[in-house]
């Protein structure tokens, strides 16, 4: 079967998503990662729209890309002017990319009511722009904006816009569901009709079957991935999308779902199997560069994509993993996770103990007794299904295997505020390591930050390279708000050292105490892992 061509627009369409922005250097880093992964086309931005995108293309000219063709994005010429006088087309040529993508209007509503243009001039704009860029020795990809809405409103004119681009020499014709409102059955029906119209018009040409169709969908109806897959089934050979589905409004088609569906489910090759095994790392890299918290429930690459909580489920996957998994998580670089909660059975405990390298039954405490204790603690507000670090320490304590790498003697946290300055926090801490006491003090942006800084400062005397351990997420949840300020709170801390991420938890009526529990567990867990 023909290989599917992957076209990534994270660096352009993805940045139109709310709260997402990349510097030119960050764009280069992402482009190199996409290239290493095997993406075929990387849309770098719109050089005619802002200096940052032009800087990206200047930097990209100095880089070598082993797989991808860097692509500049823009529009057709403006009405009533020659292509050589159009600043947008000149910027596309100045970007010096081997491929360019231009979009044109397909929907007569946009042509006549939004642009105040004529249908005839719009067709001329498409033809002139594609021909001009082709004569500039560029491969031209034509994005038919609002194609499906345009086809529903006026199919004859929508087809004429596509044929104008084909006759002018476009390499790919990409049909766009720009508003994200189409259904899979509509995608199939319309593409079938488009292909039929093409075969009739170009039947006399030997290259009539060489017209390459692409698909570009948005997720406003939650169907971007489904619509992209349906388009491939109907004959599209190029799929445009973004990593993690980033994009305007509800986002674009998510390539982290589309790629494994095509390659692993439909036997439509996209990238090498080795690279597919790095998909989760790619997803994480882009989300961290965008400063966006990864979505745990994201299919294939999310932290919860292969997580199991119910005891019956865990008992089954311990015997046959496919009983509750649609594929092997390692194929996309993910991993199987078993969660522990008040829904757990002893299978969950046994699986987790084995995963964490803890021997059960050493002191007569079996998995059934541990389940009972876990359920009691969950009633008090603990939640271990997302706190593997704390759960490992808890199992070690239950089985008399916990060996603390430091002991808290005391800490004091003070907060100071006056009318001219914001709050400042100071923490003093006394810990003991191997019988040696250490007392230190530190400031922070808040009480937990000050406590974190003081603990790091004290531990640094005994354990080097603590700067590599970063607190990347901090959450506080009131467990029962009916008690007002006396309510118990649950604190989650997520930490990272290089590519390793772990979570810990603390519960108390005092938010500082709960934060300390989670913070201490985080360092105890990681320092113990270093010693293994």
Residue 287 lies in a domain: no
Residue 532 has pLDDT above 60, yes or no: no
Residue 188 lies in a domain: yes
Q: What is the pLDDT of residue 498?
A: 78
What value does the mean pLDDT take over residues 35-54?
92
Residue 482 lies in a domain: no
CATH number, position 227: 3.20.20.70
Which one of 133-142, 284-293, 480-489 scores highest in mean pLDDT?
133-142
What value does the mean pLDDT take over residues 329-346?
78
**Burial label, 418 (beta-carbon count in 10 A; 0-12, 13-18, 19+):** exposed
Residue 168 has pLDDT above 70, yes or no: yes
Q: Are residues 373 and 410 in the same domain?
A: no
**Distance (Å, whole) CA 245 – CA 266:** 21
Residue 499 has pLDDT above 80, yes or no: no
What value does the mean pLDDT take over residues 111-123?
95
**Burial label, 325 (beta-carbon count in 10 A; 0-12, 13-18, 19+):** middle
Query: Domain tally for the chain?
Result: 3
pLDDT digits (tens, 9 = 90+) for 368-401: 778 787 778 877 788 777 788 888 888 888 888 8
Pick from 349, 357, 346: nearest CA to 401: 357
Q: What is the pLDDT of residue 386?
A: 73
Residue 37 has pLDDT above 90, yes or no: yes
Which one of 298-312, 335-349, 501-515 scores highest in mean pLDDT?
501-515
Q: Are residues 121 and 210 in the same domain?
A: yes
Q: Are residues 360 and 452 in the same domain?
A: no
Q: Band of the pLDDT at 273, cuts 50, 70, 90?
A: very high
Residue 225 has pLDDT above 70, yes or no: yes
User: In sequence order, what are the beta bridge partners of 428?
Assistant: 412, 441
Q: Are residues 64 and 133 in the same domain?
A: yes
Q: What is the pLDDT of residue 365?
A: 57
In the chain, the percentage of residues whose pLDDT exceeds 70 is 94
Q: Are residues 146 and 217 in the same domain?
A: yes
14: three-class secondary structure by DSSP: helix
Q: Are residues 225 and 154 in the same domain?
A: yes
Q: Are residues 43 and 124 in the same domain?
A: yes
**Distance (Å, whole) CA 170 – CA 163:** 10
Cβ atoms of 43 and 14 closer than 8 Å: no
Alpha helices in 403-510 (DSSP H): 447-459
Residue 130 lies in a domain: yes
Q: What is the pLDDT of residue 530?
A: 75
Domain end (from 221, 243, 271)? 271
Residue 398 lies in a domain: no
pLDDT digits (tens, 9 = 90+) for 247-271: 999 999 999 999 999 999 999 999 9
What value does the mean pLDDT take over residues 320-339?
86
CATH number, position 433: 3.30.160.740
**Residues sharing a CB contact under 8 Å with residue 116, sequence separation 6 or more, in sequence order:** none
Residue 473 lies in a domain: no
Residue 177 has pLDDT above 70, yes or no: yes
Residue 159 has pLDDT above 90, yes or no: yes
Q: Are residues 37 and 97 in the same domain?
A: yes
pLDDT digits (tens, 9 = 90+) for 5-28: 999 999 999 999 999 999 999 999
Residue 517 lies in a domain: no
Q: What is the pLDDT of residue 422?
A: 78
Domain with 332, as residue range(s), is 307-377
Residue 142 lies in a domain: yes
Q: Band of the pLDDT at 213, cuts 50, 70, 90?
A: very high
Residue 69 has pLDDT above 60, yes or no: yes
Q: Are residues 174 and 243 in the same domain?
A: yes
Instruction: Kindly report which listed range (139-148, 245-254, 383-392, 446-455) carries the lowest average pLDDT score.
Output: 383-392
Q: Are residues 256 and 207 in the same domain?
A: yes
Q: How many CA atoms lie within 13 A of 399 on its CB side?
A: 20
Query: Average pLDDT over the chain, rounded to whole?
Result: 89
Cβ atoms of 102 and 128 closer than 8 Å: no
Cβ atoms of 460 and 484 closer than 8 Å: no
Residue 342 has pLDDT above 60, yes or no: no
Q: Are residues 58 and 170 in the same domain?
A: yes
Q: Are residues 241 and 333 in the same domain?
A: no
Q: Band of the pLDDT at 332, cuts 50, 70, 90?
A: very high
């Amino acid at each position: 079967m023909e290989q599917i061509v992957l076209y990534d627009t994270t660096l352009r369409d993805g940045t139109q998503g709310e709260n997402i922005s990349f510097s030119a250097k960050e764009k280069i880093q992402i482009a190199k990662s996409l290239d290493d992964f095997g993406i075929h086309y990387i849309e770098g931005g719109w050089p005619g729209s802002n200096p940052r995108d032009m800087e990206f293309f200047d930097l990209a000219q100095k880089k070598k890309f082993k797989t991808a063709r860097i692509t500049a994005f823009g529009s057709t010429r403006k009405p009533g002017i020659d292509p050589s006088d159009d600043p947008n087309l000149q910027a596309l040529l100045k970007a010096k990319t081997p491929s360019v993508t231009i979009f044109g209007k397909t929907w007569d509503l946009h042509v006549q009511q939004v642009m105040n243009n004529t249908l005839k001039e719009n067709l001329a704009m498409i033809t002139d722009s594609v021909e001009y860029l082709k004569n500039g020795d560029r491969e031209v990809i034509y994005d038919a904006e609002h194609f499906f809405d345009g086809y529903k409103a006026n199919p004859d004119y929508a087809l004429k816009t596509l044929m104008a681009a084909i006759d002018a020499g476009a390499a790919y014709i990409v049909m766009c569901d720009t508003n994200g409102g189409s259904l899979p059955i509509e995608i199939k029906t319309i593409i079938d009709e488009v292909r039929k119209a093409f075969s009739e018009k170009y039947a006399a040409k030997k290259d009539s079957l060489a017209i390459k169709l692409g698909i570009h969908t948005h997720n406003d109806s939650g169907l971007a991935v489904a619509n992209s897959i349906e388009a491939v089934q109907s004959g599209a050979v190029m799929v445009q999308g973004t990593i993690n589905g980033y994009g305007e409004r509800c986002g674009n088609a998510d390539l982290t779902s589309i790629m494994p569906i095509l390659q692993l489910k439909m036997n439509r090759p996209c990238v090498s199997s080795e690279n597919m095994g790095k998909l989760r790392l790619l997803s994480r890299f882009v989300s961290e560069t965008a400063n966006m918290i990864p979505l745990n429930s994201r299919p294939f690459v999310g932290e919860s994509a292969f997580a199991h909580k119910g005891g019956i489920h865990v008992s089954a996957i311990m015997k046959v993993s496919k009983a509750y998994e649609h594929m092997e998580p390692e194929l996309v670089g993910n991993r199987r996770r078993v969660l522990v909660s008040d829904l757990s059975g002893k299978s969950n405990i046994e699986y987790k103990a084995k995963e964490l390298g803890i021997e059960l039954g050493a002191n007569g405490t079996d998995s059934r007794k541990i389940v009972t204790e876990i359920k009691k603690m969950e009633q008090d507000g603990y939640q271990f299904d997302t706190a593997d670090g704390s759960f490992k320490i808890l199992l070690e304590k239950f089985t008399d295997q916990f060996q603390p790498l430091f002991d808290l003697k005391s800490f004091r946290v003070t907060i100071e505020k006056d009318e001219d300055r914001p709050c400042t926090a100071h923490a003093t801490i006394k810990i003991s390591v191997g019988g040696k006491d250490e007392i230190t003090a530190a400031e922070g942006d808040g009480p937990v930050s000050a406590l974190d800084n003081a603990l790091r400062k004290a531990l640094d005397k005994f354990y080097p390279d603590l700067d590599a351990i970063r607190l990347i997420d901090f959450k506080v949840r009131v467990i029962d708000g009916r008690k007002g300020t006396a309510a118990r709170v649950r604190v989650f801390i997520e930490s990272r050292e290089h590519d390793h991420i772990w979570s810990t938890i603390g519960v108390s009526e005092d938010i500082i105490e709960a934060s300390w529990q989670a913070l201490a567990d985080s360092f105890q867990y990681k320092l113990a892992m270093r010693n293994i």
